[in-house]
Amino acid sequence: MPRMLLIIAGVITVLVLSAPARAQDSIKIGIVTDHTGNAAEFAKIEEEGLELALKEINAAGGVLGKKIELSYEDDEDKPALSATKVRKLASSGAALIIQLSSSTSTQQAEAASLETKIPHIGANQSADTLVTKLDNPYFFLAGMPGSIQFKTLLAFMRKQYKTAAIFTDTSAIAQFLAKTFREGGVAAGIKIVDEETIESGATDAIAQVQHIRNANPDVVLDAGNTISESAAFYRSYRQLNLPYPILASYNKSIPRYLEVVPHLLDGVDFVDCFDDEKPETKTFIEHFKADRGKEPFSLTAFGYNALYLAKDAIDRARSADREKIKDALANTHDFKSVIGARGTTLNFAPDHRAGFPEQGAVIRVIENNRHGKAIFAGY
């Protein structure tokens, strides 16, 4: 019996002593993601891009001669939990954090990254307030800010249309988008002749589409967010055979819309940050298709982009020290990103922590139930 106890104690000692040794062989990056909440569908897609980047980086020798190790935490897209997860990852020795959940959760999580002084990359979020509400020098937004999306969209509209109708739903994001369309449209000299809302759980939008038909706009602006209600709207729109072109927000870059109402979105123009003619993006698409056997899109690219951005900062910092990584991130120049229009790069500075290029948003068209080429860029 004493001999058995000695063996067990020996095994435990070896395991405990070997743990730091293993940890030193890798650099840990914390991933705050959403596996169970409202952003789960999107975060899951971003993780596919992140995992491809991890595979490529580690196969090429890692960073600073060490492998990258990802440590995932599910924040359920709940703001308070998100902050807790950042603290947990900070105390577990992560060199930096990449966040894949929503803007709301990321906003709350920023308080924790500031408190624990850990570099924090927002991979995909679009709220401009993430870099204005809290003066957090550790946070860097790699996602496409809403303001840039709308400038591009309005520039595209202004060239062709004088009147517009808006379609939206009752979700907070859709209401925000509709407000931005309304105010931005008016500022750009476009007259908003009708605004229609579809309620949660509606089976169709016939009455709303009839209103649009009567208003006879040059274009319909789709600010819809929830998939079921968008499906009901597009079904009604096609049923009544309305002729007006539709211009949609970045939400329609998510392929799930194409899957639930096949071909009903054909011909719709939408804002995106993914230009498949950009050389870096082309390479990413080829790699992803070879690895996963399917096409990536902008959300996948956000995850991929964020891990390469982190690697680039650690390389330039020549250390896994958080302060040095933060300084390196704040001095990112001309990072060749797989997101953004061709010819654009990501750039950060201490006083410019939203790195997406001002001219980086594009307008794409849905053709034959697929996201087609970029037909307009910048503003």
For other proteins, the binding residue among 84, 163, 228, 359 (CB under 8 A) is 228
Is position 162 an interface residue for other proteins (rule: CB under 8 A)?
no
Residue with smaller CB distance to other proteins, 163 or 170: 170
Pairing of strands 269-272, 362-367: antiparallel
- Between 246 and 328, CB nearer to other proteins: 246
Query: Is 31 one of the binding residues for other proteins (CB under 8 A)?
Result: no
Query: What are the two backbone dihedrals, phi and then psi, of residue 149, each rounded to the nearest 5 degrees?
Result: -55, -45
Q: Does 171 bind other proteins (CB under 8 A)?
A: no
Coil, strand, or helix at residue 71? strand
The Cα angle at residue 89 between residues 45 and 329, in degrees rounded to 5: 75
Does 204 contact other proteins by CB under 8 A? Answer: yes
How far CA 377 is from CA of 150, 153, 266, in Å, comes to: 12, 9, 20
d(CA 335, CA 328): 12
Does residue 170 interact with other proteins by CB under 8 A?
yes
Which lies closer to other proteins via its Cβ, residue 118 or residue 166? 166
Q: What is the distance between the alpha carbons of residues 374 and 360, in angstroms, rounded to a whole number?
A: 11
* C-beta of 29 vs 205, nearer to other proteins: 205
100 lies in the site for other proteins, by CB under 8 A: no
229 lines the binding site for other proteins (CB under 8 A): yes
Q: How far is CA 17 from CA 65, 70, 80, in A?
A: 22, 22, 35
58 near other proteins, judged by CB under 8 A: no
Applying CB under 8 A, does 281 fall inside the site for other proteins? no
Q: Out of 26, 71, 147, 210, name the contact with other proteins by CB under 8 A.
A: 210
Helix (H) or strand (E) holding 136: none
Told to check if 206 binds other proteins by CB under 8 A, we report yes
Does 129 interact with other proteins (rule: CB under 8 A)?
Answer: no
Using the rule CB under 8 A, is 101 a contact of other proteins?
no
Which listed residue (261, 271, 313, 338) binds other proteins by CB under 8 A?
261
Q: Is residue 193 close enough to count as binding other proteins by CB under 8 A?
A: no
SS3 239: helix
Report residue 320 as tokens. 């896994």
Report the residue number, 155 or 227, with the smaller CB distance to other proteins: 227
Tell me which stretch binds other proteins (CB under 8 A): 193-201, 267-275, 300-308, 338-346.
Answer: 193-201
Residue 91 is a binding residue for other proteins (CB under 8 A): no
Q: How far apart are CA 369 and CA 281, in angstroms?
A: 21
Contacts with other proteins by CB under 8 A: the residue count is 35
- State the nearest-atom distance from the C-beta of 270 to other proteins, in Å: 18
User: Closest CB to other proteins among 113 and 236?
Assistant: 236
Tell me: does residue 294 bind other proteins (CB under 8 A).
no
Residue 225 or 337 with smaller CB distance to other proteins: 225
| CA 344 – CA 142 distance, rounded (Å) | 13
DSSP state of 138: T
Q: Is 114 in the site for other proteins (CB under 8 A)?
A: no
**Residue 201, number of CB atoms within 10 A of its CB:** 10
The verdict on 359 binding other proteins (CB under 8 A) reads: no
Helix, strand, or coil here: 264? Answer: coil
Select from 79, 75, 85 the least CA-distant residue to 107: 79
| Cα-based distances in Å from 274 to 22, 297, 302 | 38, 7, 9
Residues 6+ apart with CB under 8 A from 159: none
Dihedral-angle region of residue 80 (phi above 0 means left; psi in -120 to 50 means alpha; beta otherwise): alpha
Q: Which of 2, 3, 203, 290 binds other proteins (CB under 8 A)?
A: 203
Q: Are 273 and 142 in contact (CB under 8 A)?
A: no
Q: Does 198 bind other proteins (CB under 8 A)?
A: yes
Residue 34 Cβ vs other proteins, minimum distance, rounded to whole Å? 10
The site for other proteins (CB under 8 A) is made up of 36, 38, 40-41, 168, 170, 195-204, 206-208, 210-211, 226-229, 231-232, 235, 239-240, 256, 259-262
